[in-house]
Structure 1
């Protein structure tokens, strides 16, 4: 992956990373016209109708990001074992079909981070890589690309002290000096972890809308219609948060011990987390309303079925009793 990136002097890497962090600040604070911004994002969306079950991939991403968490005291929190889906035929074929796309996204994020590209422009660039995918697929694929890089970063951090290969790779990424500064950097990593958690929550919520039973609810229902209107915004800000997180990690690994500890950077990550939390709360309210609507439809359907059964003459009552038992 790294071989496709331009070589640059360390000072250039420092300046580029600083430039990206500054440009991200400006982009987030000065872009006031959300309608114009979202019109640009929606303009990249040209789905071709393909259906992708992203839940197995999402589960894998969630497992990676849960484990890729810095523990200052070097202890690891126990996590539930990942369900063994990696050898299932459907899962393997899905990963095989999507791995190229995930790698392209990962390279795009890394390249833009090193080049100091504006955060919004990078997010638009990612959307342009994924025009034919549904909104939830764009989001899960981008999260997978982020998990690939972020997971590699923390895998090396966790094992480099006991693995010679990992140690050599960690030195190239300046990880030893970063770990030595883990105390002063704790606030930054806490902000990163908090933002990543909200990103995952939003992603799960967006995917959950896709799983609503179409036999009971359609986009004509106000709650679902409202949610569908806001999902592109949720996807955009989550993808933009991916860019922000990747920017921080790139800046840290590029600058190493020269990386300055800024409360402004922590504030920016926290601001994104706050924005995503508000989006998440709105989507969850709409999702709850959708489930309430579905329950009402099912109750009406069940009542009508029982009514029809009771109005029908039966030789025995077993059919009615079985129906009552299912209620």
Structure 2
């Protein structure tokens, strides 16, 4: 509704405006306890429980007692209508209230009305369950000489509307006083005061039974128009006020994040909208842990932004949990979770469930700030927040990293304390780019070295020999069983090659393409049986769950993409070149759903990535010539990986694919189109570069 369209319908005419203005003092004052008074009026008329006013409000309300009593008496004596017309009686009340401003006049008159007629609304409650008793009480109290049930609903509507108008005017006046850009015409307040008081007189007469006429109905219509006008005007002003608050708070965000702070407090108090004594809780264990915000004043703090539904991002949560578990024992820092954009009561249950079992601290639900609309706006615009978990790193008042997830994803525990540029990390760890780096996050058994000096090796295999889709394999039980048997056989032959006098310490595991949980479980069962049969303690099959499998694939892609970017600027050393080849090859095998094997030593960069069928044939050859193989392993300075590589290259070059024009394809991930020199991971011949355009990752287009 356009407020301009209703102005002339309800405002007092010129004569009434002059009359009311004449009896309104220019030094009219507000009443400080107006809000408290209106709350009491509302609770009284709704038969609700009162909240005790504070000491200052109580004093102010006591001072209003005489004028409220006076108005109450006037309302009682005017109910008979013998004191003149409604207009005259309204003006008489306004004369009594001349030293109060317009909104205060409304509050005082409504308080006087509530004093007189609260018992009517109490009887009304009785009417709902015992009509005859209620009517009898009305007659005894002389609140109506006949069945007034017919007018109760009309009276209820009118009382509710005039009370709401009074509340709206109080809020509007407060906004106008605090916000210069908001302007409400004084005539609106003046006219509303007249008609609210006029309506209170109508209601009082109707309740007393002395004036039940069409005037009550016409008054309801007028008050409806006034109510609609002020509701819309209030909404407009509140929107303006909210915009100003957001603008002001946004400026505060810009100021605080734009300057180096002395410690973490200013930033944390701004983000969490709480004081230094606010308590934060961690429910990672059965024993609840608590700290105060002031405990986070110094050091490194990770503020984890996300939507409330953080569990929907299992991959990102797993990355952060794995990082926390690897670093918290050696590094002093804490994670504080801050869900953005959620405060409504219906979110309480979800919030309580989400925080359980997480290693980060959080506020109590009641302490979540209403200002998160500003935080959400700022975080989306300045930091690119998009609902996914986004760890911001603070250190002694400085934002080290707006979103450290990609850094954690790529470097794991090596990223801490986040004060090193990524290029420096590549330089620092550029010589540690072997299988240990690739398998970060997959399982600790694949990345943590033992206490002894014995070389430790890891072998992971993945993909499928079957060319059917995943659904087809699930439907075809025989194909699935063949797949399980083949991988178990491959692992068995590798166990045989690694045991014996050489006693190679080897851990192995299956990394499925996407959703190979069933396949992994059955392969694990069979391989574990083979290891038991070998009776060799240095051999172990490591179970890899599906969350870790997803982490592996997303991380391999991230590594390949980052290395391609670095390759454009000629910043790759030999080890990084090898890592690019291996990660890109793994991705290509996954794209083709082809079985593959990666094997390497944990404390070196030396690793082999190979076609699984080729690798299987080599293992068959090794098992047939086990004595020769074992002799080579026992020779001085022998290295398991180097010997295996030599056996692979001495007779299995492209043997598995004699009819194809190529034995391996490699797709460079990213937009780089420059010439990339690369050797085939199977035959080690230089690869020919072609350009392939494909619409999605599921395309199985052959490169001729």
* TM-score bucket of the superposed structures, by smaller chain: 0.5 to 0.7
Change (3 A) 1:40 1:305: same
1:41 equivalenced with 2:8 (yes/no): no
Tell me, yes or no, if the aligned pair for 1:310 and 1:320 is still in contact at 8 Å: yes
Partner of 1:229: 187
CA distance, structure 1, for counterparts of residue 242 and residue 261 of structure 2: 29
Alignment of 1:96-107 (within 5 A): 96-107=62-73
Partner of 2:60: 94
Which structure would you say has the larger Rg?
2
Tell me, yes or no, if the aligned pair for 1:157 and 1:170 is still in contact at 8 Å: no
Give the CA deviation at 1:173. 4.0
Partner of 1:193: 156
Change (3 A) 1:316 1:174: closer
Tell me, yes or no, if the aligned pair for 2:12 and 2:191 is still in contact at 8 Å: no
Structure (1/2) with the larger strand percentage: 2
Alignment of 1:110-259 (within 5 A): 110-114=76-80, 115-153=82-120, 173-174=141-142, 178=145, 181-182=146-147, 185-212=148-175, 214-215=177-178, 217-218=179-180, 221=181, 224-252=182-210
Alignment of 1:245-324 (within 5 A): 245-252=203-210, 265=213, 267-314=214-261, 319-320=266-267, 322-324=269-271
Change (3 A) 1:57 1:112: same
Tell me, yes or no, if the aligned pair for 1:234 and 1:276 is still in contact at 8 Å: no
Give the CA deviation at 1:323. 3.4
Change (3 A) 1:249 1:312: closer
CA distance, structure 2, for counterparts of residue 131 and residue 38 of structure 1: 14
Change (3 A) 1:305 1:93: closer
Partner of 1:164: none
Tell me, yes or no, if the aligned pair for 1:227 and 1:286 is still in contact at 8 Å: no
1:55 equivalenced with 2:2 (yes/no): no
CA distance, structure 1, for counterparts of residue 268 and residue 123 of structure 2: 61
Give the CA deviation at 1:140. 0.9
CA distance, structure 1, for counterparts of residue 121 and residue 199 of structure 2: 19
CA distance, structure 2, for counterparts of residue 316 and residue 63 of structure 1: 47
CA distance, structure 1, for counterparts of residue 267 and residue 123 of structure 2: 62
Equivalences, count: 258
Change (3 A) 1:320 1:269: same
Cα deviation digits, residues 257-286 of structure 1 (max 9, x gap) = xx9xx6xx1x32222122111112111222
**Tell me, which stretches of 5 or more residues in structure 2 are unaligned?**
1-9, 127-135, 274-374, 376-704
Tell me, yes or no, if the aligned pair for 1:205 and 1:284 is still in contact at 8 Å: yes
Give the CA deviation at 1:301. 1.9
Structure (1/2) with the larger helix percentage: 1
CA RMSD, aligned part only? 3.4
Tell me, yes or no, if the aligned pair for 1:227 and 1:283 is still in contact at 8 Å: no
Tell me, yes or no, if the aligned pair for 1:119 and 1:243 is still in contact at 8 Å: yes
TM-score by length of 1: 0.67
**Tell me, which stretches of 5 or more residues in structure 1 are unaligned?**
1-30, 68-80, 160-167, 253-258
Tell me, yes or no, if the aligned pair for 2:11 and 2:192 is still in contact at 8 Å: no
CA distance, structure 2, for counterparts of residue 126 and residue 315 of structure 1: 60
